Amino acid sequence: MNLLFQTWSWSISGFLIGMIMLCLIYFGKTFGMSSNLRSLCTIIGVGKKVSFFDFDWKAQRWNLVVVLGAMLGGFVAVHYMSDASNVAINPKTIAQLATLGIDAPNGKLVPDALFGSQILESPYHIFILIIGGILIGFGSRYAGGCTSGHAITGLSSLQLPSLKAVIGFFVGGLIMAHFILPLLF
């Protein structure tokens, strides 16, 4: 039982993800979180006005369970299993964050300056969150899927467009971390 409440090795987690992907490929299913947003829009009736959302969402019910599981898993992990004592942040990263005015997490997994509830009190941070959400939504639609869909499903089924998308996600992340984030903070 103690194994469930500690950080797992990447090899165990990776192996389990690989086994899940084999099962999904065997049953002809694809995994991705952004496809659930399409299903949710269809459920609330957007398909009556936009043809992209006019499809049989019930065929994707199993994927909606994945979203609920991710939300439940996140809740359980944060409230019952989060132990930041085994997270080692590189001192260079802490120094770089400090130059941006972001303190080290100090016993947490993420810094409060970026993920604390106080960011909802600042119109600037709310604006950043809204613009970021719009850009992520546009990017996942433009790329034909999100990072989880391309990196997990697309790469495991050897799709060249997914490899290109994952390379683009990585390059975009580097640009964001090194050039855009310092401008925002």
Q: pLDDT tens digit string along 86-104? A: 677 888 988 888 888 888 8
Locate the domains of the chain by residue range: 116-185
The stretch 131-139 carries a mean pLDDT of 88
Token output for 1: 């039982």
For residue 1, the model assigns a pLDDT of 59
Inter-residue long-range contacts of 107-114, CB under 8 Å, 24+ positions, other chains counted: 108/82, 108/84, 109/82, 109/84, 113/185
List, in order, residues 6 or more apart from 55 with CB less than 8 Å away.
38, 42, 47
21: DSSP letter = H
* pLDDT > 70 fraction of the chain, expressed in percent and rounded: 94
Confidence of residue 65 (pLDDT cuts 50, 70, 90): confident
Q: Which of 3, 67, 4 is nearest to 31 (CA)?
A: 67
Residue type for 120, please?
L
- Count Cβ atoms below 10 Å from residue 162 Cβ, excluding itself: 21
Inform me whether the pLDDT recorded for 84 exceeds 70: no
**What is the Cα–Cα distance from 62 to 20, expressed in whole angstroms?**
13
Q: Which of 138, 136, 139, 169 is nearest to 152 (CA)?
A: 169
The answer to whether the predicted template modeling score (pTM) of the entire model surpasses 0.75 is: no
CA atoms within 13 A on the CB side of 157: 20
For residue 15, the model assigns a pLDDT of 92
